[in-house]
Chain A
Amino acid sequence: MSPDAPILEVGNLEKSFGGLKALNGVSFDLHPGEILGLAGPNGSGKTTCINAITGVFRIDGGSIRFAGEDIHHRATYRRVRKGINRTFQVPRPFPGLTVHENVLVAAHYGSGEHADAMTLLEDTGLAEFADKPARTLNSSQQKMLGLARALATKPRLLLVDEIGAGLNPEELSAMAQRLRGYANQGMALLVVEHLMDFLDQVTDRLVVMDAGNTLFTGKLAQATEDPRVIEAFLGG
């Protein structure tokens, strides 16, 4: 694999739930060290896209290639061990386990080389809660825990689902800086967000989805002037 080959290639993803087509031909690429924004109105299929890439369900059609390998039939835990992870829009910690144990599970099982759970907790500002049950954390702390848990599996591709929601401007720019830091270390990131100025802080490359389709791919600055994008966001 050449160094500038994409780490993730998504082609023509299709997925239906009952009669509803949630994904209808989504395609994009992502390279190591790159941050790609994924925007679109509610229900346009952003989270479905993340679920498809992480294997929460099987796709009906299309292809998902990770590091050159077709992974669309792999179980979630295998994709995780290969180097894909995500955060959840609504955090899903293990509420009854301690904060430290939450990260420890992922560190043990998530990759061959074991990450140091404590270091990750310090990095995400959760070290002082290490021995507390995760359910006692507030929601932004739970978001950080979700991030720490994902990082514990040493991902090469991180899918970030609406991590900005509920953060104040200061926290938002700290988060943006943090994500850019990961990219600088070579990690590829897909950032799902509908806060445009947050996206603006992390990336200049954007995919806009609408009704399960890729509506726009290109520079963020152009997206805001594209009539189709404007219609999708405003026309509902």
Chain B
Amino acid sequence: MLKGWRSTAIVTAITLVTFIVVPKLYDNQFLLFNMMMYMALAQGLNIIYGYTGYLPFGYVGFFGAGAYAGALVIIFLHWMPLIAVLVGGLTAVLFGMVLIPLFRLSGAYFSIASLAASEALYYVVANPHLEKITQGPYGISMPQAYDANAAYWTMLGILALSLVTSGIIRRSRFGLALSAIRENPLSASMSGVNVVQMRSLSWLLSAFIAGLAGATFGWYISVFYPETVFSLTIGVFTIVFILFGGIGTLIGPIIGTLILYGLYNYIGISTPQYFQIAYGLLIVLLVLFLPNGLVSLLKRRGVDVP
């Protein structure tokens, strides 16, 4: 156990230090920002999918909810962006609480229902009738709040939070209980685990991280449309990144995001179709040949992967 804690701390520290140092050497801050954002989202998704086995295909709904809630309190209440980010996180938690009944569903039903919930929220936000509140399809513009550097460091903080949370869960009793729920919910409750409470807690934590990340993203770009922050691509990227790296581990989602998001920026932006084919094929091949991701190659050699 102790060894596990140390490697968890080391992985977290290296990741964070990297994002502190690299901006001094490399000037594409937005890329680094996005990389951190996806790493945070990947850990957030890991908390619910990796540890409990529920895959929310509409995970981006929390991200969008956070982005809009944060933006609206900046625009209408003129709150400080940092507080707005917190409001974004809490709004996502609220949305998550509304969706807790979805856990009555299992497997693919849950995935699709969460996707439907995310799309429903998108259509509410983008509805022209709500233009006075959400600006409807015309999107958010808040140049007054623009401060890329502050948003960058905020995202670093969120990344730190997500890594620490995920790392602690993985090595704690709570994480053990979540794994038990994933493996067999009935046996988990026969072991005295309060399945409903534990699962809800991990769901809300996961939502909170996505909400914080969404609000910070909105702050960083400060001009966005509903389809920017509710884009299914964000959720799908996150899923592919953690599948590629290895779900249920701390380092898997980090490696997965680093490699694939790096690759995306190398070949994806100019010709997105090449990237789409590549990651489409990658998903197919992963599911068929390496369902537990890159880290399973190490695990097979008996390495205790953090």
A81 and B179 within 8 A (CB): no
Q: Is B191's CB within 8 Å of the partner chain A? A: yes
What mask results when residues 77 to 93 of chain A are scored 1 for a CB within 8 Å of chain B, else 0?
10011000110100011
- Which of A54, A81, A108 contacts B173 (CB under 8 A)? A108
Q: Is A106's CB within 8 Å of the partner chain B? A: yes
Residues of chain A lying within 8 A (CB to CB) of residue B189: 75-77, 80
Residues of chain B lying within 8 A (CB to CB) of residue A75: 189, 194, 196
Q: Is A156's CB within 8 Å of the partner chain B? A: no
Q: Is A43's CB within 8 Å of the partner chain B? A: no
B191 and A149 within 8 A (CB): yes
Q: Is B188's CB within 8 Å of the partner chain A? A: yes
- Which of B173, B187, B193, B196 contacts A93 (CB under 8 A)? B187
Within 8 A of B (CB), among A53-109: 54, 56, 75-77, 80-81, 85-86, 88, 92-97, 101, 104-106, 108-109
B194 and A77 within 8 A (CB): yes
Q: Is B177's CB within 8 Å of the partner chain A? A: yes
Q: How far is the CA of A59 from the CA of B183 in the complex (A)?
A: 26
A85 and B183 within 8 A (CB): no
Q: Is A153's CB within 8 Å of the partner chain B? A: yes
Residues of chain B lying within 8 A (CB to CB) of residue A111: 192
Most chain A Cβ neighbours within 10 Å, of B173, B177, B182, B190: B190
A94 and B184 within 8 A (CB): yes
Q: Is B195's CB within 8 Å of the partner chain A? A: yes
Q: How far is the CA of A92 from the CA of B195 in the complex (A)?
A: 16
Q: Is A179's CB within 8 Å of the partner chain B? A: no
B191 and A105 within 8 A (CB): yes
Q: How far is the CA of A150 from the CA of B173 in the complex (A)?
A: 18
Q: How far is the CA of A75 from the CA of B195 in the complex (A)?
A: 10
- Considering only CB atoms and an 8 Å cut-off, how many residues of chain B contact the other chain? 19
Residue of B nearest to A107 (CB): B191
B184 and A106 within 8 A (CB): no
Residues of chain B lying within 8 A (CB to CB) of residue A81: 192
Q: How far is the CA of A88 from the CA of B176 in the complex (A)?
A: 21
- Which of B173, B192, B196 contacts A80 (CB under 8 A)? B192
Within 8 A of A (CB), among B161-197: 173, 176-177, 179-180, 182-184, 186-196
A80 and B191 within 8 A (CB): yes
Given contacts A93-B184, A94-B184, A94-B187, contact A106 B192 (CB under 8 A): yes
A150 and B176 within 8 A (CB): no
B190 and A85 within 8 A (CB): yes
B180 and A105 within 8 A (CB): yes
Residue of A nearest to B197 (CB): A77
- Which of A88, A95, A96, A109 contacts B191 (CB under 8 A)? A109
Q: How far is the CA of A88 from the CA of B193 in the complex (A)?
A: 17
Q: Is A37's CB within 8 Å of the partner chain B? A: no
Q: Is A32's CB within 8 Å of the partner chain B? A: no
Q: How far is the CB of B65 from chain A (nearest CB, A)?
A: 30
Residues of chain B lying within 8 A (CB to CB) of residue A92: 184, 186-187
Q: Is A40's CB within 8 Å of the partner chain B? A: no
Q: Is A110's CB within 8 Å of the partner chain B? A: yes
Residues of chain B lying within 8 A (CB to CB) of residue A88: 187
Most chain A Cβ neighbours within 10 Å, of B173, B183, B195: B183
B176 and A104 within 8 A (CB): yes
Residues of chain A lying within 8 A (CB to CB) of residue B177: 105, 108-109
Q: How far is the CA of A106 from the CA of B187 in the complex (A)?
A: 9
Q: How far is the CA of A13 from the CA of B192 in the complex (A)?
A: 24
A54 and B190 within 8 A (CB): yes
B190 and A150 within 8 A (CB): yes
Residue of A nearest to B193 (CB): A109
Most chain B Cβ neighbours within 10 Å, of A77, A80, A104, A108: A77
B186 and A94 within 8 A (CB): no
Q: How far is the CA of A228 from the CA of B111 in the complex (A)?
A: 52
Q: How far is the CB of B261 from chain A (nearest CB, A)?
A: 28
Q: Given A109-B193, A110-B192, 4 other A-B contacts at CB below 8 A?
A: A80-B191, A88-B187, A95-B184, A149-B187
**Could you list 6 A-B pairs, sorted by A, with CB under 8 Å?**
A88-B187, A101-B176, A108-B177, A110-B191, A110-B192, A149-B191
